[in-house]
A and B are shown apart, each in its own frame.
Chain A
């Protein structure tokens, strides 16, 4: 158990719809990163939120957006869903924004499995 919780765990949407995924970070963590994991692939970085501001973004279009709240929980919003958006969406929290080092170790939730029909 990493202390990172995501909801919903599974959901099905149709093309063109919008979806909001939620993440509660581990206690004491101020940074949340979102990753997309397609079937048979490693996770791909979407963006990171640090102290309520977007701190970095991967190669994803603007229809992927996010928020971080004062309690450091976070949301990922995807508009105009496409079939290729079907994936496991992973949220990870950390004590700091530098990935992997000195407090930046990422602790992942179990993910939200999105299917777009």
Chain B
């Protein structure tokens, strides 16, 4: 059972379109991280957010941490085929991260 629920589970869009992935939980986390994982590889950290209401922008990616520190979203503007991958959110408390099941994003050229 995943402590964090991600939606949608799968997302397929055309190059140039925008997309948003959601990560929700009933638990409060001290930090929230987003990772991207490609087949046969480990997850790669994209961003860490620690303050409720925090918004971070990294080029075409925008990350938001909910005010109550229970949920987060990842928005990609003008998606490119290189954005294809499994996006994982993870909530941090003490020594461990609790991961969602992931959203598989496919960007078609």
B95 contact set on A, CB distance < 8 A: 33, 48, 50, 55-56, 97-99
Whether A81 is near chain B, meaning CB under 8 Å from some CB there, is: no
Q: Which A positions have Cβ atoms within 8 angstroms of B?
A: 2, 4, 33, 35, 40-45, 48, 50, 55-56, 58, 90, 92, 97-101, 104-111
B44 contact set on A, CB distance < 8 A: 2, 108
Alpha-carbon separation in the docked complex, A110 to B12 (Å): 25
Main SS of the interface on chain A? loop
B2 to A100, Cβ gap below 8 A? Answer: no
Whether B33 is near chain A, meaning CB under 8 Å from some CB there, is: yes
B99 contact set on A, CB distance < 8 A: 35, 42-44
How many B residues are at the interface, by size bracket?
20 to 34
The residue of chain A having its C-beta at the shortest distance from the C-beta of B29 within the complex is A100
Report if A100-B48 is in contact (Cβ < 8 Å); known contacts: A42-B2, A110-B41, A111-B41.
yes
Alpha-carbon separation in the docked complex, A28 to B78 (Å): 37
- Choose from A99, A107, A111 the contact partner of B97 (Cβ within 8 Å): A99
Alpha-carbon separation in the docked complex, A35 to B99 (Å): 10
Q: Determine how close the nearest CB of chain A comes to the CB of B60; give it in whole angstroms.
A: 22
Whether B21 is near chain A, meaning CB under 8 Å from some CB there, is: no
